[in-house]
Amino acid sequence: MANTSKSVATTTIGYMCLALTGWMISMPNASWFSRSYSYGEGMLYPLAMVLAVMGILSFLQGRGLDAIIFFGGTGLFWSNYVHLSAGSNAGFVDPPSYAGWYVFIWAVFFCYVWLGSFKSGIIRFLFLLGLWLTLLALAIGNWGSLHGITILGGYLGLITSILAAIVSAFDVINYGRKVGDPNRDAATELSTPAPRAA
């Protein structure tokens, strides 16, 4: 039971980090806002660190796919944080084609992680599918300066963030249902009539 509770904790926290950060990053891409603001940028660094810890814990628990996803999320978010910090301090902007290659490499990474996720459950499978398609759309949008494709990538990112939140919620809710309330279980056992002797 202790190992199960640790596994649920890492899954719940890790996927919630992906959901929160993915949502905040995707809103500007979907043109809900003109740019990313301090709340969105401020979560990149701390949640990347939390994801790194969840990745290590997942690895130690023998859950390789989640460890890979969390380590990948750490690299993606942390590098975004460093990029935003360096860009705001130096006042420069990367060429869109260069940014496109950056996002495309991450799309390739999450694509082959997705190819290894076919037996991991439908929600994780859809999450990874949405993640690499989001990154691919953003790469194409950057390469061709196609605002419509970037907006599509933003909406795919929002949907993918919802899927990450579902993974997070499903694991902890499912665990709570299995474990149940100890007091209620004891009361149920006391109220159940004993079997009759033959």
Q: pLDDT at residue 182 above 60? A: no
81-109 confidence digits (pLDDT tens): 888 777 655 566 778 889 899 999 999 99
Helical spans, DSSP H, in the chain: 2-29, 38-60, 64-90, 96-115, 122-144, 147-179, 182-191
pLDDT digits (tens, 9 = 90+) for 42-95: 888 899 999 999 999 999 999 999 999 999 999 999 998 888 777 655 566 778
Give domain status of residue 189, yes or no. Answer: no
Residue type, 107: A
Q: Is residue 114's pLDDT more than 90?
A: yes
Q: Is residue 144 part of a domain?
A: yes
Domain containing residue 55: 2-177
In the structure, what pLDDT confidence band is assigned to residue 37 with cuts at 50, 70 and 90? Answer: confident
* 82 neighbors 94 (Cβ within 8 angstroms): no
Indicate whether 184 belongs to any domain.
no
CA-to-CA distance for 156 and 137, rounded, in angstroms? 9
In-domain check, residue 195: no
Q: Please check whether residue 194 lies inside any domain of the structure.
A: no
Round to whole Å and give the CA distance between 114 and 106. 12
CB 17 within 8 A of CB 164: no
pLDDT of residue 26: 93
Number of domains in the chain: 1
- Is 64 within the bounds of a domain? yes
